Amino acid sequence: MENITIKINGMDVSAPAGSTILEAARLAHVEIPTLCFLKDINEIAACRICTVEVNGGKLAASCVFPISEGMDIKTNTPKIRDYRKKTLELILSNHNRSCLSCVRSGNCELQTLCKEMGVDTEDYFDGDKTPSILDDSAAHMVRDNSKCILCRRCSAVCEKVQGIGVIGPNDRGFATFIGSAFDKGLGETSCVSCGQCIAVCPTGALYEKTSIAEVEKAIADPTKHVIVQTAPAVRAGLGEEFGYPIGTNVEGQMVASLRRLGFDKVFDTNFSADLTIMEEAHEFLDRVKNNGVLPLITSCSPGWIKYCEHYFPDMTENLSSCKSPQQMFGSIAKSYYAEKMGLKPEDIVSVSIMPCTAKKFEIGRENQDANGVPDVDYTLTTRELARMIKQSGIQFNNLPDEEVDVPLGLYTGAGVIFGATGGVMEAALRTAVEQLTGEELKKLDFTDVRGTEGIKEATYHVGGMDVNVAVASGLGNAKELLNRVKSGEANYHFIEIMGCPGGCVNGGGQPQQPGYIRNTTDIRGLRAKVLYDVDASKSIRKSHENPAIKELYDTYLGEPGSKKAHHLLHTTYVKRKINEI
């Protein structure tokens, strides 16, 4: 593309024709502040914080205004600074400013901009305010429109990325608010609880429902044996809450902090990810050999499962009947582990730390209580764990690395890559290929299914047949892929789908990053690299070689797909209607 020359703050800058002022400024190492802007998702110039002066005084929103040859741009004049400050004051005039008690205090994009631009509380414009009416009808989150700035990031990601669109602006003018059709509570809609709206919200208008108090109460109860499992993606994101660079593995410090919080045992969801592979690979091979329903589609992501039930109910037969690793862990903890420890299932409190808000919905689903009690009692997001650590005065950054407890903490490289898009597929292939051929794999890396692309496809010649596989992450991509399958355009044997773009590393419960970072940094790739690096470092990289999994089958379950395994580790699904919970 041809470059053109413009001036930014008196300096010549060469940028591709068609670039916006914001993009050109970044090439010149000038960062123009934004609030509503998300690249390729929400480019609507709604907030006007990115306004600059063009050609001697004309005001333009830099996030959408294209550059032209010879353009003279000023990004930081007194006029612009005053304009931005007034804009922030107008936003704050209808904002619930209970910052000290807000879950986003210290990590709020609005708060940060006000601090940077010297907004004085005495300068706010007085007037009516949107009342604080909480919508807590959904299982996973709360919406407080008194803290909403109408940036529309949430509705953009819901519609354009996830392809759902259950929230958006209602009414007009000052009465505008973000909500669902006919002002229904979010829990009355076909929301899938993915939490991507929370992840992109710049303020405290959207936040997950918290179970911190219940978990702390259980820890303090001497009659309860409180165990915790941590999902693979948590170790790749938690450090960001404590100032570590994106892509830092803090597994050892995470384990140490959980012990100091008072959990009786610290285990790892990677263990049950290996267990999931054993059951899922068996199910796949059984369907292939016995003309079962194909393609088999993975069932690890509860947001994807609920999406399938609402939007593709005719394909629920394609779903693997395997519970998610979170639920498998809980079921084994309250059966196998309870028996080994001489504990009653009802005396075990099972807690999970997840990168996913949809897990809060999943623990309340039917058929998630194989032992007569819930498989998992409480699930906390990565962000909630960080809050617990901070509230407890634990100096996370100074903690020594510690290892998880056994046996439900042992895992292979296959288990840890579950947190990245393509990881479940790769882990399953490592086991399924060896079981199908009876030969040891010489190469364990199935690189065709790696990467953060929305849809990936590959064909592998295994055991005398071509096995067609596909991977999708983000529900908009899932929709595209499944429509290809339904139309006959594509033919697959095995499909992995994750509800969040990039997989669990980018889950709705992961640390929130400001718009600038989201727009300029490959957050998904950096977090995923943590998991692939752990995989590469493991001496055992195939789920079926996990010694703890072998012992579980040898002494308790029998074999994959056995009657006992099916009772404990498998589930059923519901054909839901749109807008039916």
- Domain interval for residue 30: 3-91
**Domains in the chain: how many in total?**
3
3-state SS class at 452:
coil
Q: Give the residue from 177, 178, 175, 180 showing the smallest Cα distance to 164.
A: 180
Contact, 346 vs 371, CB < 8 A? no
**Whether residue 283 sits in one domain with residue 329:** yes
What is the pLDDT averaged over residues 16-25? 95
Q: How far apart are the first and last CA of the chain?
A: 49
Per DSSP bridges, beta strands 465-473 and 455-462 are antiparallel
**Whether residue 451 sits in one domain with residue 345:** yes
Of residues 442 and 239, more confidence is placed in 239
Please write the tens of the pLDDT for every residue from 151-184.
999 999 999 999 999 999 999 988 899 999 988 9
For 211-220, the CB contacts below 8 A with 24+ separation are 211/360, 211/378, 211/379, 211/380, 211/384, 212/380, 212/384, 212/387, 212/388, 214/378, 215/349, 215/351, 215/378, 215/380, 215/388, 216/388, 218/349, 218/351, 218/377, 218/378, 219/261, 219/262, 219/263, 220/262
pTM of the model: 0.95
What pLDDT does 126 receive? 79
Kindly tell me if the per-residue pLDDT of 121 is higher than 80.
no
**Whether residue 406 sits in one domain with residue 273:** yes
3-state SS class at 530:
helix
Question: Which positions ≥6 away from 319 have C-beta within 8 Å?
Answer: 297, 299, 305, 308, 573
**Whether residue 360 sits in one domain with residue 223:** yes
Return mean pLDDT, the chain.
95
**Whether residue 394 sits in one domain with residue 247:** yes
Please write the tens of the pLDDT for every residue from 514-557.
999 999 999 999 999 999 999 999 999 999 999 999 999 999 99
Residue 412's domain is classified under what CATH number?
A: 3.40.50.1780
Domain contains 575: no
Domain contains 312: yes
Q: Count CB atoms within 10 A of the CB of residue 235.
A: 28
Where does a domain end: 179, 208, 237?
Answer: 208
Compute the distance between CA of residue 292 and CA of residue 289 in angstroms, rounded to an integer.
Answer: 8
Where does a domain end: 152, 175, 208?
Answer: 208
**Whether residue 422 sits in one domain with residue 321:** yes
**Whether residue 290 sits in one domain with residue 222:** yes
3-state SS class at 12:
strand
**Whether residue 195 sits in one domain with residue 108:** yes
Compute the distance between CA of residue 412 and CA of residue 270 in angstroms, rounded to an integer.
Answer: 7
Tokens of 162: 């996830």
Residue 73's domain is classified under what CATH number?
A: 3.10.20.740
Domain contains 576: no
What letter represents residue 550's amino acid?
A: K
Kindly tell me if the per-residue pLDDT of 470 is higher than 60.
yes
Domain contains 578: no
Percentage of the chain modeled with pLDDT above 90: 93
What pLDDT does 123 receive? 63
Domain contains 579: no
What is the pLDDT averaged over residues 219-228? 98
pLDDT bin (cut points 50, 70, 90) of residue 120 is: confident
**Whether residue 220 sits in one domain with residue 183:** no
CA distances from 203 to 34, 44, 105, 135, 380 (A): 13, 18, 9, 16, 20
Please write the tens of the pLDDT for every residue from 399-455.
999 999 999 999 999 999 999 999 999 999 999 999 888 899 989 999 999 999 999
Q: Across the strands, what pairs with 144?
A: 134
Please write the tens of the pLDDT for every residue from 123-146.
678 788 888 889 999 999 999 999
What pLDDT does 453 receive? 94
Kindly tell me if the per-residue pLDDT of 581 is higher than 60.
no
Where does a domain end: 208, 236, 259?
Answer: 208
Tokens of 560: 């994959």
- Helix, strand, coil shares of the chain as percentages rounded to 5? 45, 15, 40
